[in-house]
Amino acid sequence: MSFLVSCARSLFFLDFWISNPLDLDPITTNRTAPQRIGWRNPCMDTAGMQTAERRLHSLEKTIVVVLLFAVLALSFGFADAAGKRKKVRVPRPIEQISQAVPHNVLLASSVALVQDVTSGETILGKNQDAVAPIASITKLMTALVVLDSRLDLGQRVAISGDDTDHLKGTRSRLSVGTVLTRDQLLLIALMASENRAAAALGRTYPGGMPAFVAAMNDKAQQLGMRDTRFVDSTGLNSANVSSARDLARLVVAAHEQPLIREYSTRESAEVDSLGRRLAYRNTNGLVRSPDWHIELSKTGFISEAGRCLVMRLRLASREVVVVLLDSWGKQTRTYDAMRIRKWLESRIAAAPRG
């Protein structure tokens, strides 16, 4: 800045010199000539003085133009050198990550939320307040109500025709007449999202399915889930709706139950059904990866809800809840989780330490 000011001052004085040549002309001032009244230089008449004056003025202007170009060249040179200086990137503190670049993560899910469990901070949000169908994420609330009721988990329950899906006609490997313990039903409902198992859990609740659904909605109110409504225990009905913020509350509450943590993240299990050994696998393939530290998981899908996934896990040294709803591809909810993990780890790695 000081250099530019100096250049401006120089240009001002050069311009002044051009505009006022007589003040600097030794001929017109005639400082060395005698200043007697009536004295005249016999060697120079008026015409000669004017001719010499014009020549000198022309030479001065040429010199000034050359100097002007020199000053301008120096100015551009310094400006170019200053422009090439590298800008120092100031790392953002970790507290500013969530508000800085959440839009940089390209997600296929229409709704997404990543929330810090300890602070409640929203690390990443996308339509997190939108109310949408939640499909089999419903089964987390089903499990909570069953465990809150303190019903005998060892009690044997028979699958009946009432447990079949008359709404969408989905199939199940659990044949009518299969007898399993309530504990086994809870396991495959959480781990493999078995719909007939979840239906049987609601049907055998004291007061039947209507009482069970009422208990689900009461529990939602207790947890502060104001955007949530349940109409069945399976999630097959698209009237089971919630928001990502509400589901984060549900995940936190469900995580307090050791049995839900264990069953929802178990990789596989087997049960007997009318003499057949049925093998089930977790619907969330990430639980089988040693690179993921998932403490609770639940998937869901119906056409109205799209692909859904909720998890409580450890990412980049932080305990977080991840909610993904209405993902349009079969594997996109998994890829969304991977993108979120990569984004969060890269941001924390880039944040200043200490």
Do 50 and 144 fall into the same domain? no
Select from 49, 83, 117 the last residue of a domain: 83
User: Can 84 be counted among the known catalytic residues?
Assistant: no
- Would you state the pLDDT for residue 180? 98
- Would you state the pLDDT for residue 345? 87
- Would you state the pLDDT for residue 40? 41
Residue where the block lists tokens 């936190």: 252
Do 123 and 45 fall into the same domain? no
Do 225 and 256 fall into the same domain? yes
Beta strands in the chain (DSSP E): 109-116, 122-126, 132-133, 156-158, 179-181, 241-242, 268-273, 276-281, 293-302, 306-315, 318-327
User: Can 136 be counted among the known catalytic residues?
Assistant: yes
Each of the 354 residues of the chain gets a pLDDT tens digit; together they read: 444 444 444 444 444 444 444 333 333 333 333 333 333 443 444 444 444 444 445 555 555 555 555 545 555 444 444 443 333 333 333 333 333 335 568 899 999 999 999 999 999 999 999 999 999 999 999 999 999 999 999 999 999 999 999 999 999 999 999 999 999 999 999 999 999 999 999 999 999 999 999 999 999 999 999 999 999 999 999 999 999 999 999 999 999 999 999 999 999 999 999 999 999 999 999 999 999 999 999 999 999 999 999 999 999 889 999 999 999 888 999 999 999 999 988 887 666 655
- Would you state the pLDDT for residue 268? 98
- DSSP three-state, residue 143: helix
Cα 164 to Cα 257: distance, rounded to the nearest angstrom: 28
Please report whether residue 345 resides in a domain: yes
- DSSP three-state, residue 58: helix
Do 200 and 287 fall into the same domain? yes
Please report whether residue 88 resides in a domain: no
Q: Which domain holds residue 304?
A: 94-350
Do 57 and 114 fall into the same domain? no
Please report whether residue 143 resides in a domain: yes
Of the candidates 346, 310, 339, 345, which has an alpha carbon nearest to the alpha carbon of residue 325? 310
- Would you state the pLDDT for residue 346? 87
Please report whether residue 30 resides in a domain: yes
Do 150 and 261 fall into the same domain? yes
CATH of the domain at 134: 3.40.710.10
Do 266 and 324 fall into the same domain? yes
Cα 193 to Cα 301: distance, rounded to the nearest angstrom: 10
User: Can 168 be counted among the known catalytic residues?
Assistant: no
Question: Are 237 and 220 within 8 A, CB to CB?
Answer: no
Q: Which two tokens stand for residue 92?
A: 């953002």
Cα 318 to Cα 344: distance, rounded to the nearest angstrom: 10
- DSSP three-state, residue 333: helix
Do 199 and 259 fall into the same domain? yes
Do 243 and 289 fall into the same domain? yes
Task: Exactly one of 126, 139, 219, 298 is catalytic; name it.
Answer: 139
Do 176 and 314 fall into the same domain? yes
Please report whether residue 254 resides in a domain: yes
Phi, psi of 272 (to 5 degrees): -95, 135
Task: Exactly one of 98, 109, 136, 264 is catalytic; name it.
Answer: 136
Q: Which two tokens stand for residue 63?
A: 């010199």
Could you give the number of structural domains in the chain? 2
The secondary structure of residue 195, as a DSSP letter, is: H
- DSSP three-state, residue 229: strand
- DSSP three-state, residue 133: strand
Do 275 and 327 fall into the same domain? yes
Please report whether residue 89 resides in a domain: no
Torsion, Cα 336 219 258 113, to 10 degrees, reads 20
Task: Exactly one of 98, 109, 193, 233 is catalytic; name it.
Answer: 193
What type of residue sits at position 185?
Answer: L
Cα 344 to Cα 104: distance, rounded to the nearest angstrom: 11
Do 288 and 237 fall into the same domain? yes
Residue where the block lists tokens 């998937």: 299
